[in-house]
């Protein structure tokens, strides 16, 4: 008989299960949810709790061979990122078991503070060789500004900001009280000295061209300045506003 893939939805929880079937001896429509109720222990638990009528059932595709059905099921589950989405009931993809929180904690506790042997380290290197890591340094885009930046359009929560601040202070980063320039007095003499050192410094044509090429086509978000009645780029607004309102 035809192998097939299917999708079921548990209506009370709106959770989904996608699978394949190849051992059927009758047509898919006479098999699914009449003779076959998936091989998933979690689905069977839900059937015991809420009954077979609490599911929506749909046959998705039919195939000539089991191999074709397995390949298609694997493709769909990976595309739907079931490993990252609790809305899916599936516990494995192509035999790879999806650990739950309890299993992850057990794995973490087992490996915690256990030194790795050189043989283990070498096996890890071999297993990672040739693998593509999207955010490895050599895979990052040359320009990570604007929409290419992972934080584009996002904001850190106050809790995250606090944790970053504490981590930076603990690691000795030159932030806050750790910054050696924090308590430096900016006297007129110091400002004059810095001005004289910067005077006469010129950008080379190559440097100007590189900067121009980098920002060409970018649209910087702007904010209205009530002191001078102009729209100022967000990144420059704080410094501009402080200077502008005192003029």
CATH number 3.30.590.20 is the correct assignment for the domain at 3-97: no
Report the percentage of the chain scoring pLDDT > 90: 23
Taking the model in full, what pTM does it have?
0.42
Percentages helix, strand, coil for the chain (3-state, rounded to 5) are 45, 15, 40
The predicted model gives 32-36 an average pLDDT of: 94
> Domain limits of the chain?
3-97, 220-247
The predicted model gives 17-29 an average pLDDT of: 92
Span 127-176, pLDDT tens digits: 877 766 665 666 666 677 777 777 777 888 888 888 888 877 776 666 66
Confidence of residue 244 (pLDDT cuts 50, 70, 90): confident
CA Rg, the chain, in Å?
A: 30
From the DSSP assignment, how many helices (H) and strands (E) are in the chain?
9, 7
Report which DSSP code applies to 92.
Answer: E
Residue appearing with tokens 């809790």: 159
* DSSP sequence for 33-59: TTTB--S-HHHHHHHHHH-GGGEEEEE
Confidence at residue 62, expressed as pLDDT on a 0 to 100 scale: 93
Span 53-79, pLDDT tens digits: 999 999 999 999 988 998 999 888 888
Nearest residue to 94 via CA among 115, 73, 79? 73
Span 194-224, pLDDT tens digits: 888 878 777 888 888 888 888 787 777 788 8
Which pair of tokens denotes residue 235?
Answer: 């990144």
Is pLDDT above 60 for 98? Answer: no
Nearest residue to 6 via CA among 81, 52, 22? 22
């Amino acid at each position: 008989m035809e192998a097939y893939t299917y999708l079921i939805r548990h209506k009370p929880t709106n959770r989904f299960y996608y699978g394949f079937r190849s051992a059927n001896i009758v047509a898919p429509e006479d098999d699914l949810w009449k003779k076959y109720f998936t091989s998933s222990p979690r689905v069977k638990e839900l059937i015991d709790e809420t009954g077979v009528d609490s599911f929506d059932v749909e046959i998705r595709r039919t195939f000539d061979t089991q191999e074709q059905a397995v390949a298609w099921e694997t493709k769909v589950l990976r595309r739907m990122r079931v490993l990252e989405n609790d809305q899916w009931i599936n516990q494995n993809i192509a035999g790879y078991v999806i650990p739950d929180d309890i299993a992850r904690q057990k794995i973490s506790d087992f490996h915690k503070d256990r030194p790795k042997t050189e043989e283990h380290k070498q096996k890890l290197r071999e297993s990672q060789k040739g693998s593509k890591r999207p955010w490895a340094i050599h895979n990052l885009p040359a320009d990570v500004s604007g929409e290419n930046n992972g934080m584009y359009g996002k904001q850190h929560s106050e809790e995250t900001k606090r944790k970053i601040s504490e981590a930076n202070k603990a690691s000795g980063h030159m932030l806050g009280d750790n910054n050696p320039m924090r308590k430096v007095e900016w006297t007129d003499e110091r400002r004059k000295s810095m001005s004289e050192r910067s005077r006469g410094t010129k950008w080379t044509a190559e440097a100007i061209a590189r900067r121009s090429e980098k920002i060409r086509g970018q649209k910087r978000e702007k904010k209205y300045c009530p002191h001078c009645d102009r729209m100022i780029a967000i990144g420059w607004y704080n410094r501009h506003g402080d200077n502008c309102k005192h003029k």
